[in-house]
Amino acid sequence: MSLLRVEGIAKSFRGLKAVTGASLEVPQGGIVALIGPNGAGKTTCFNMIAGVFAPDAGQIIFENRKIQGLRPDQVCAAGIGRTFQIVKPFAGLSVLDNVMVGSFLKEKTRAGARSVALQVLKKLNLDAKAELPASSLTLPDRKRLEVARALSTRPKLLLLDEVMAGLRPTECDEIVAVFRDLNRSDGLTILLIEHVMRAVMALAQNIVVLHHGEIIARGAPTDVVRDPAVLECYLGEETEV
Amino acid sequence: MIARLLEGVPRRGLVALAALFAALLVFPAFASGYLLAVGFLILYFAYVGQAWNIMMGFAGQLSLGHSLYVGLGAYAAAALYVHFGISPWIGLLASIALCALAGAAMGFLAFRFGVSGVYFAILTIAFAEFARIGFDHFTWVQGSSGFFLPVANYAKNDLWNLRGSPVMFYYLMLCLTAAAFVLCHALLRSRMGYYWLAIRESPEAAQALGVDVFRYKLYAVVISAAMTSLSGVVFAFYYNNLFPEQIFHISRSVEFILGPIIGGIGTLFGPIIGAALLTLLSDGISEVLAAMGWDIPGIKQVFYGVVLLVVITFLPHGIWPALARRLGLSK
């Protein structure tokens, strides 16, 4: 059964077609990667799913319920957590307070929100920095904080927008291990946008390739990376030398 | 309940707070009439600053029109008292309702249509100016010629009708200021408080974490407006005269926000410290100049400007955050 089903969503910005009829499915408990060159429309797809803007056409179905047109906070309450490609920490608050904003969604009391937030921070190895102001974190830690905040709302589906970008390979492997663990032990379903193929190949069970707002390939990671259409859009056409 | 409120407050801070409160309690016993009036003004500005801080310091919504809520609150209770003999303790319910409604109407218009930042601030000025001009022509409360409350002699305090000595008003304002402090402390630790801070820092990120930004911004305006209305009620019964030209004037709104800005926006002590500093220094300067026989019009405004300039240059986050670090009270 698919947890998220996106059917033919499209979005134009002042006539510029960012996404034209993209469809994809994320099975319950699965990890799906959405890849494609810069400007392919990946983040636009994400924003439509997360409720930042409504699609011009198509349907987004989460747990057999149409969610297109809902506001971001309603989408979050429905069980979809997201991170931002350009991190948006609450800079003036401590790391713990940042995460507590998210955990207050399901926990009504301060004590409850605090304990959930601490658990999540521990999972992401940020617990030692809980009392520091978020503004003092390095970029890799800010990326982790994005993930921690999204997780603290206890989502069923996690949308990750390029959380590996800018990380060193070892840091990248660390965070991949965290997502694997969340997926296996907590049954968290993940849809990720990623450029770092190291992470994509390690995590994704399925890859969807977006190019010029259209889906040009989908399937198992090993097949997709050999797909001529995919190679063409990333590397250009093959030419005789 | 009390234990939960005190949780997370450093012990040294608690002792200092108790000492401050005790000092304020015994203050009238030693103060002259003039000093008592200064004390009242400090508490008054601390209270309104605390209320304003909920909108700006917590939720990040700049209001430059808080004179609107003081004025509406003052006029509502005063008019009910003068025209119908209704006690201000009943009248303040009308004041609260009226101000909450005014805040909700403005907040709804602004947040529904995405008015934010400086444009939102301009809208708050517009609402206050609208009220000022409206009340100038509102004959039920004597329009621009001013609305006066019957002045009783101060032989006996009548708390029910708020007719009495400055000491009574001092204690009333002290209770309100202390209550506002406790309320803001509790709000900051609540879910709503966390949501406000999140909205202040990044509305998009807050929304992505399930925060209904529109609703919580509206709550901030309504709570701030309702709180401010009470200071208007006290103001009306303390001064016994109301002029739209004064009470709704933008210079009042600006006066209200200087305290929290200088003391520290978004902090609980900032509004109190800022109000104390500004009131003491500006009244002190006026006194000194008067004693030397100089009468310089506008010296208070010049003084405010200088203090503001100095503080934002050297302590951009206000006095309290720096002071708290010094005293070892901040985390």
Q: Is pLDDT of B7 > 90?
A: no
How far apart, in whole angstroms, are the C-alpha atoms of residue B197 and residue B209? 13
* pLDDT band at B273; cut points 50, 70, 90: very high
Facing residue for B202 by CB, picked from A50, A90, A150 = A90
How far apart, in whole angstroms, are the C-alpha atoms of residue B287 and residue B305? 19
Output the pLDDT for position B109.
95
Q: Does B198 touch chain A (CB under 8 A)?
A: yes
Cβ-count burial B26-53 (b if 16+ within 10 Å, e if not): ebbeebeeeebbbbbbbbbbbbbbbbbb
Is A90 in Cβ contact with B198 (below 8 Å)?
yes
Output the pLDDT for position A126.
94
- Chain A partners of B200 at a C-beta cutoff of 8 Å? 92
Phi-psi group of B210: left, alpha or beta (phi > 0 → left; psi -120 to 50 → alpha; rest → beta): left
- Closest residue in B to A106 (Cα) is B210
Considering only A136-140, B15-19, B107-111, which range has the smallest mean pLDDT? B15-19
Distances (CA, A) of B331 to A125, B195, B280, B327: 21, 21, 30, 11
Is B210 in Cβ contact with A76 (below 8 Å)?
yes
* pLDDT band at A235; cut points 50, 70, 90: confident
Facing residue for B207 by CB, picked from A73, A104, A149 = A73
Output the pLDDT for position B260.
96
Is B205 in Cβ contact with A149 (below 8 Å)?
yes
Of the candidates B88, A54, B217, A227, which has an alpha carbon nearest to the alpha carbon of residue A235?
A: A227
* pLDDT band at B285; cut points 50, 70, 90: confident
Q: Does B197 touch chain A (CB under 8 A)?
A: yes
Is B197 in Cβ contact with A97 (below 8 Å)?
yes
Output the pLDDT for position B137.
95
Output the pLDDT for position A241.
59
- Chain A partners of B204 at a C-beta cutoff of 8 Å? 52, 72, 84, 88
What does the pLDDT average to over A46-53?
95
What does the pLDDT average to over A79-92?
95
Q: Does B204 touch chain A (CB under 8 A)?
A: yes
Domain boundaries, chain B: 2-327
Say if residues B227 and B70 touch (Cβ distance below 8 Å). no
pLDDT tens digits along B130-188: 999 999 999 999 999 999 998 866 667 888 888 888 999 999 999 999 999 999 999 99
What does the pLDDT average to over B309-330?
86
Q: Is pLDDT of B331 > 70?
A: no
Output the pLDDT for position B8.
64
**Percent of all residues in chain B with a pLDDT value above 70, rounded to a whole number:** 96
Number of Cβ within 10 Å of residue B290's Cβ equals 10
Q: Does B29 touch chain A (CB under 8 A)?
A: no
pLDDT tens digits along A153-194: 999 999 999 999 888 899 899 999 999 999 999 999 999 999
Output the pLDDT for position B262.
93
Q: Does B325 touch chain A (CB under 8 A)?
A: no
Q: Is pLDDT of A23 > 80?
A: yes
Is A90 in Cβ contact with B201 (below 8 Å)?
yes
Amino acid at B114: G
pLDDT tens digits along B61-70: 999 999 999 9
Is B190 in Cβ contact with A76 (below 8 Å)?
no
Interface test with B, best of A49, A52, A73, A143 (most B CBs within 10 A): A73
- Chain A partners of B210 at a C-beta cutoff of 8 Å? 73, 76-77, 102, 105, 153
Output the 3-class SS for chain A.
CEEEEEEEEEEEECCEEEEEEEEEEEECCCEEEEECCCCCCHHHHHHHHHCCCCCCEEEEEECCEECCCCCHHHHHHHCEEECCCCCCCCCCCEHHHHHHHHHCCCCCCHHHHHHHHHHHHHHCCCHHHCCCEHHHCCHHHHHHHHHHHHHHCCCCEEEEECCCCCCCHHHHHHHHHHHHHHHHHCCCEEEEECCCHHHHHHHCCEEEEEECCEEEEEECHHHHCCCHHHHHHHHCCCCCC
Q: Does B202 touch chain A (CB under 8 A)?
A: yes
In chain B, which among 217-256 make CB contacts under 8 A with chain A?
Answer: none
Output the pLDDT for position B292.
84
Facing residue for A73 by CB, picked from B194, B210, B266 = B210
Output the pLDDT for position B237.
95
Interface test with A, best of B209, B216, B317 (most A CBs within 10 A): B209
How far apart, in whole angstroms, are the C-alpha atoms of residue B114 and residue A172? 38
How far apart, in whole angstroms, are the C-alpha atoms of residue A83 and residue B78? 53
CATH number given to B2-327: 1.10.3470
Output the pLDDT for position A198.
86
* pLDDT band at B4; cut points 50, 70, 90: low
pLDDT tens digits along B287-318: 888 888 877 777 777 887 888 889 889 998 99
Say if residues B305 and B295 touch (Cβ distance below 8 Å). no
Output the pLDDT for position B27.
92
Q: Does B186 touch chain A (CB under 8 A)?
A: no
What does the pLDDT average to over B219-234?
98
Interface test with B, best of A67, A90, A116, A142 (most B CBs within 10 A): A90
Say if residues A171 and A203 touch (Cβ distance below 8 Å). no
pTM given for the model: 0.93
Facing residue for A101 by CB, picked from B190, B194, B266 = B194
Instruction: Quote the mean pLDDT of chain B.
Output: 92
- Chain A partners of B213 at a C-beta cutoff of 8 Å? 73
Is B212 in Cβ contact with A76 (below 8 Å)?
no
Q: Does B215 touch chain A (CB under 8 A)?
A: no
Is B209 in Cβ contact with A92 (below 8 Å)?
no
Is A93 in Cβ contact with B207 (below 8 Å)?
no
Is B197 in Cβ contact with A93 (below 8 Å)?
yes
Output the pLDDT for position A229.
84
Of the candidates A150, A175, A153, which has an alpha carbon nearest to the alpha carbon of residue A88?
A: A150
Output the pLDDT for position B155.
67
Q: Where are the alpha helices (DSSP H) in chain B?
A: 2-6, 11-30, 33-53, 67-84, 88-112, 118-136, 166-189, 191-201, 203-208, 213-239, 244-247, 250-263, 270-291, 299-314, 319-327
Using CB atoms within 10 Å of the CB of residue B86, give its burial: 0 to 12 exposed, 13 to 18 middle, 19+ buried. middle
Q: Is the complex ipTM higher than 0.90?
A: yes
Q: Is pLDDT of B108 > 90?
A: yes
- Closest residue in B to A151 (Cα) is B209
Q: Does B277 touch chain A (CB under 8 A)?
A: no
What does the pLDDT average to over B38-51?
97
Considering only A11-15, A63-67, B322-326, which range has the smallest mean pLDDT? B322-326
Facing residue for A102 by CB, picked from B204, B209, B331 = B209
* pLDDT band at B15; cut points 50, 70, 90: confident
Is B208 in Cβ contact with A101 (below 8 Å)?
no
Q: Is pLDDT of A220 > 60?
A: yes
Output the pLDDT for position A53.
93
